[in-house]
Amino acid sequence: MIPVHGYEGEKVAVLGLGRSGLATARALQAGGAIPLCWDDGAEARARAEAAGLTLHDLGRREAFEGVAALITSPGIPHLYPETNKHIARAYKAGIPVDNDIGLFFRSLGSGAWDEMDQPPRVVAVTGSNGKSTTSALIHHILKVAGKPAQLAGNIGRGVLDIEPPIDGEVIVLELSSYQTDLARALTPDVAVFTNLSPDHLDRHGGPGGYFAAKRRLFAEGGPDRAVVGVDEPEGLFLAGQLAMGPGDDRVIRVSVDEKLTGPGWLVYARKGFLSETRKGKQVGSIDLRTIASLPGTHNHQNACCAYAVCRTLGLSPKVIEQAFHSFAGLPHRSQLVAEAGGVRYVNDSKATNVDAALMALLAFRNIRWIVGGLQKEGGLSGLAEGLPNVAKAYVIGREAEAFARDLGAVEAQVCTTMEAAVAAAMADAQSGDTVLLAPAAASFDQYDSFEKRGEDFIARVKAALD
């Protein structure tokens, strides 16, 4: 646990008692603060009370009297589409509002660091797609290289729930826009921006607000090194703002769309080969085509970002390449579930938006595509480039018929349920095909989460193959 500093003896309200909220309350308590906990859900309140935490109804008129700060869980809207009523009251009372990420960065260092040969460092990864795989890959490479490392944030453990870092340790954080948007302290040693595509637009008041939330990771504290994907205008803008000139190697530009040139520190992938250049000279190269857990251009971008981070941490290209080959990948992200009769079964349930689904479609050929769910803003037109790889679509979800119509010329079978879609796709599949779950939609019409959706796909496939 990372004890929270700066609130010793003071009352701090904690709103939202899920995983991060409970960890935040315990970390505040460990640092000498008095956490006052609230959640509008009775179940969450019961869990907190069972854990020995003090409940404090934030709906009462005098609820914020004597409170030094309000710490809110990332999922609770603090501005758009509408400010949560408790947060709005805190704003009116002039009470600072923060989240666990802000507390983490203000509390991480300790006096023990003065005795360390190499103080711990923090790598923070954000972006629309690929941040989970990039974060996990960085962590994996560090562990393979024998470096102490922890993985936390939007993946793995809550940031305040990790162990106090030891000499030379690297903490790898995956941070969503919900987490970066409100944090009052953001001071990573290395920050990563993978890419940007429309997502969570209602929460951020549009695309500008969404990008601004991501940009805060780079603007609030200023990392020592920034790894920036430059295949979108926003990435180019961000890299340009951070760099003092073309040769400024504090900014490492990453691309999978084109060969990068110039005097700076560059990492790019073309036709399956990763290349690193510095001052116009190639200093590293890796063939990514043979790495089964990183298929497709989107995963090559993840590999480039992870490679760039690990190079800033002093690892050699050879060590990084060896670690790439032993990386198992993450569940629900281009996850190879099975291979039988020449047919591959791939679970990419995390492809909850059009851009992520497009990357999955571009990674494979002869696809039996299981798609559908709660369609997000913007429609499906962004999938056009990947549709030639689709042999047939099998549409799931409560609105499957409408979803199927939006697929245009693609042959589509309305299945509604995962059970029916898997059965139909397996019946049609031939050797050389890939049965791919890449929904291009949220899961909440039928499942509690994308994980549950992916688990259902895996269970159906394995049951049919047994």
When the pLDDT of each residue in the chain is averaged and rounded to a whole number, the result is 95
Confidence band, pLDDT 50/70/90 cuts, at residue 381: confident
* 131 labeled binding residue: yes
**Residues linked to residue 440 through DSSP beta bridges, in sequence order:** none
* 130 labeled binding residue: yes
Buried b (16+ CB within 10 A) or exposed e, 309-338: bbbbbebebebbbebbeebebbebbbbebe
Gap between the Cα atoms of 149 and 169, Å rounded: 5
Question: Per residue in 145-171, pLDDT tens?
Answer: 999 999 999 887 899 999 999 999 999
* 154 labeled binding residue: no
| Residue 110 confidence (pLDDT) above 90 | no
Give the whole-number percent of the chain exceeding pLDDT 70. 100
Gap between the Cα atoms of 264 and 281, Å rounded: 10
| Residue 217 confidence (pLDDT) above 90 | yes
* Amino acid 101: pLDDT: 97
* 132 labeled binding residue: yes
Question: Per residue in 222-279, pLDDT tens?
Answer: 899 999 999 999 999 999 999 999 999 999 999 999 999 999 999 999 999 999 999 9
Query: Which domains are assigned to the chain?
Result: 11-98 (3.40.50.720), 103-326 (3.40.1190.10), 335-465 (3.90.190.20)
What DSSP assignment string belongs to 23-47? HHHHHHHHTT-EEEEE-SSHHHHHH
Question: Per residue in 393-419, pLDDT tens?
Answer: 999 999 899 999 999 889 999 999 999
* Amino acid 365: pLDDT: 93
* 129 labeled binding residue: yes
Confidence band, pLDDT 50/70/90 cuts, at residue 379: confident
Report helix, strand or coil for 171.
strand
**Do residues 381 and 198 touch, judged by C-beta distance below 8 A?**
no
* Amino acid 299: pLDDT: 93
Question: Per residue in 46-60, pLDDT tens?
Answer: 999 999 999 999 999
- Our CA angle for 227, 154, 377, nearest 5°, is 85
Handedness of CA 119, 104, 12, 38 (dihedral sign): negative
The greatest distance separating any two alpha carbons of the chain, rounded to the nearest whole angstrom, comes to: 68
Gap between the Cα atoms of 438 and 295, Å rounded: 14
Can you say whether residue 457 is alpha, beta or left, with left for phi > 0 and alpha for psi between -120 and 50 degrees? alpha
| Residue 7 confidence (pLDDT) above 90 | yes
Gap between the Cα atoms of 459 and 455, Å rounded: 6
Predicted model pTM: 0.87
* Amino acid 104: pLDDT: 97
From residue 101, alpha-carbon distances to 13, 33, 182, 188 in Å are 16, 17, 9, 11
| Residue 378 confidence (pLDDT) above 90 | no
